[in-house]
Amino acid sequence: MKRITAIAAAALLAAGAAACSGGGASTGTGPATGAAAQPGQAAAGFQEQHKGGTLRLLAKAGDGTLDPHINYSNGNWQIFQALYDGLVSFRKTGGERSYDIVPDLAQELPQVSADGTTYTFTLRKGVAFSTGAPVTADDVVASFERIFRVSGPTSGTFYAGIVGAADCVKKPAGCTLDQGVVADAAAGTVTIKLVAPDPEFLQKLALPHAAVLPKDTPAKDQGTSPIPGTGPYQVVSYDPNKQMKLVRNPHFKEWSRDAQPQGYPDEIDYAYGLTPEAAVTAVQNGQADWIFDPLPADRLTEIGTQYAQQAHVNALAAFWYIPVNVNLAPFDKPEAREALQWAFDKNAMVKMFGGANVAQPACTILPPAFPGHADFCDFPRQDLAKAKDLVQKSGTAGQEVSVVVADDEVSKQIGEYVRSSLEQIGYQAKLKVISTNIHFTYIQNTRNKVQLSVSQWYADYPAASNFLNVLLSCASFREGSDASINISGYCDKDMDARMAAAMKLGQTDQAGADRQWGEIDRELMKRGPIVPLFNPKQIDFVSRNVGNYQFHAQFHALLDQLWVK
């Protein structure tokens, strides 16, 4: 998942954020929870004495539609965790175990046929929507069809492997999956058939886009009208300019603490409209409990020193990187791309982002502790002489190169640094700063002829392919389109085949597949379509009376598990 906004920062934070939770997550041993973690983990069971109260959340703006089959943004995905369930789910806990898939609306993990294409789920009994209607196999079938009928953002990618899906993507109206998703009402089972095995299918099912909704939900974006769900809360009102209000779902009974634990606050109010600066002050004053937006750089020192107990720092499955356009001069030459891998001091960029406590330099495309990550570092430090040599060898010295960056402070600083480094290794470099609002789509379109840019990628789910295959496969390169996430324009049949092989191996041997992904990562680093810069961390700032903070590696802070009493 992509998040454009950046934690702006400056060197002065290094001192301040050092106190933030002791910066405990810097060793890369996993998405560690902040050192200021509260006593009492979820495993201890529901703690009645903390039940109740109102949790007050802040964001500068609403985060789009409430329709879980359509919304594709961090803010509402986080809220959907308390509203909706799929057949399976990521374990709702902090730490590394949050990457585990656990049965949710299904009684247990599905039985998978020997060829890996048929998944049979037995539905849990006694689960009801917030309307009181029980969840049936028909609801599950209707929900899968709805993903396509509303042309969901991932319908053509994540779920395209279901039998019949290809036709549904092309003709969403009245789409049916009668061969692909089959209900047996009597047995209470749902069988999903895939065209080809997909080792990541369960993870895709655990995302909000595959949430199970009532079968009579209209096949059209429901926008601001809440759709009944199965989670511990329900939305009673939503105005993206003002507020979202959640109250308890009266029909919720905890069926699996791993998949969907009972929430603590009686009410969750998400207020929109304050600037991040004002929001930080509100949390300090106890007028609000948590902020969605990245914290403003000039407040980090203060938070790190005076409010260290209320700050939580966690590693993110994400990276900042330079997509290198392999189809435009000078970076169509392999030597020129290799020169880029030597050209930058990544520690300097980490400083620009906010220091070692909020980011760590990246050597690989896959972030540390992410599945498939291999601990190699073939370009361990800046080497300008070597880079200059390589530029000379490539015969591209003196050519013009422009770097396109967004207009937030961090991107501009990093952009300027990239520009000056390019000058040093022998190019005539220019910096092009464009509005953050259009940057992400602008750099994707080949018509804009972007040679280099600075961008970010946040994982949708914990699988190596979500970085490597999404960012660098032929399939995600679409010329002349604003939706072409392979920004480098890198398309190599051989690498595509190796990625396909790794995915295939993943069906039977995850460890073996991870080793292959590590090798693919290494090979791609050599070929240089991407220069990884650093892996950012998330800083959550909560009010004094909030307890039980848990950081979920996929969906971030588990909001409904926070104590306000």
Partner 1 sequence: MIGYILRRFGAAALVLFAISVLVFLIFFATPGVDPAARIAGKNADPATLEQVRASFGFDRPLPVQYLMMMKHLFVTHDLTSFVNRGTLVIPQIVEAIPVTLSLVVGAAVIWMVLGVAMGTLAGAMRGTLIDPLVMLLGVFGVSLPVYWLGEVVNLLTQKQLHDSVFSWVPPLGYAPLSQGVGQWALHLLLPWLTLALLYAGIYARLLRGELAGALNEDYVRTARAKGLSERRVLLRHALRCSLIPIVSLFGLDFGALVGGAALLTEVVFGLPGVGKLTYQALQNLDLPVIMGTVLYAAFFVVLANAVVDVVYARLDPRVRRA
305 binds partner 1 (CB under 8 A): no
| In the complex, minimum distance from the CB of residue 259 to partner 1, in angstroms, rounded to a whole number | 26
Q: Which stretch binds partner 1 (CB under 8 A): 110-118, 125-133, 156-164, 330-338?
A: 156-164
| In the complex, minimum distance from the CB of residue 70 to partner 1, in angstroms, rounded to a whole number | 8
278 binds partner 1 (CB under 8 A): yes
488 binds partner 1 (CB under 8 A): no
Cβ-proximal residues to 67 (8 Å cutoff; 6+ apart), any chain: 150, 221, 222, 223, 227
Place of tokens 């954020």: 17
Does residue 330 have a cis peptide bond before it, meaning omega lies within 30 degrees of 0?
Answer: yes
Single-letter amino acid, residue 518: G
- Tokens coding 180: 């692909």
Question: How many other C-beta atoms are found inside a 10 Å radius of the C-beta of residue 285?
Answer: 10
| Contact present, 211 and 67 (Cβ < 8 Å) | no
For residues 519 and 357, what is the distance between their CA atoms, to the nearest angstrom? Answer: 29
Residue in 420, 481, 487 with CA at minimum distance from that of residue 450: 487
409 binds partner 1 (CB under 8 A): no
- Contacting residue, 222, 301, 456, 465, with partner 1 by CB under 8 A: 222
DSSP 124: P
156 binds partner 1 (CB under 8 A): yes
**CA of residue 402 relative to chain centroid, distance:** 28
266 binds partner 1 (CB under 8 A): no
- Contacting residue, 331, 442, 461, 517, with partner 1 by CB under 8 A: 442
329 binds partner 1 (CB under 8 A): no
54 binds partner 1 (CB under 8 A): no
Residue in 23, 31, 528, 520 with CA at minimum distance from that of residue 318: 31
Terminal CA-CA length for the chain:
33
3-state secondary structure of 538: strand
485 binds partner 1 (CB under 8 A): yes
- CA distances 8 to 5, 51, 538, Å, are 9, 36, 12
- Contacting residue, 481, 526, 544, 565, with partner 1 by CB under 8 A: 481
Q: Which stretch binds partner 1 (CB under 8 A): 116-124, 282-290, 499-507, 541-549?
A: 282-290
- Contacting residue, 43, 126, 241, 493, with partner 1 by CB under 8 A: 241
For residues 324 and 422, what is the distance between their CA atoms, to the nearest angstrom? Answer: 13
- CA distances 1 to 317, 465, 467, 504, 551, Å, are 10, 13, 10, 23, 17
- Contacting residue, 30, 53, 116, 273, with partner 1 by CB under 8 A: 273
3-state secondary structure of 10: coil
- Contacting residue, 224, 305, 327, 510, with partner 1 by CB under 8 A: 224
| Closer CB to partner 1, 213 or 352, in the complex | 213
384 binds partner 1 (CB under 8 A): no
For residues 212 and 143, what is the distance between their CA atoms, to the nearest angstrom? Answer: 6
| In the complex, minimum distance from the CB of residue 256 to partner 1, in angstroms, rounded to a whole number | 30
- Tokens coding 234: 């329900």
Give the contact letters, 158-197, x = binds to partner 1 (CB under 8 A), - = no: --x--------xx-x-------------------------
- Contacting residue, 438, 497, 501, 526, with partner 1 by CB under 8 A: 438
| Closer CB to partner 1, 27 or 481, in the complex | 481
- Site residues (vs partner 1, CB under 8 A): 1-2, 61-62, 64-67, 70, 72, 151-157, 160, 169-170, 172, 221-225, 239-242, 271, 273-275, 277-278, 281-282, 284-285, 287-288, 434, 437-445, 447-448, 470, 476, 478, 481-483, 485
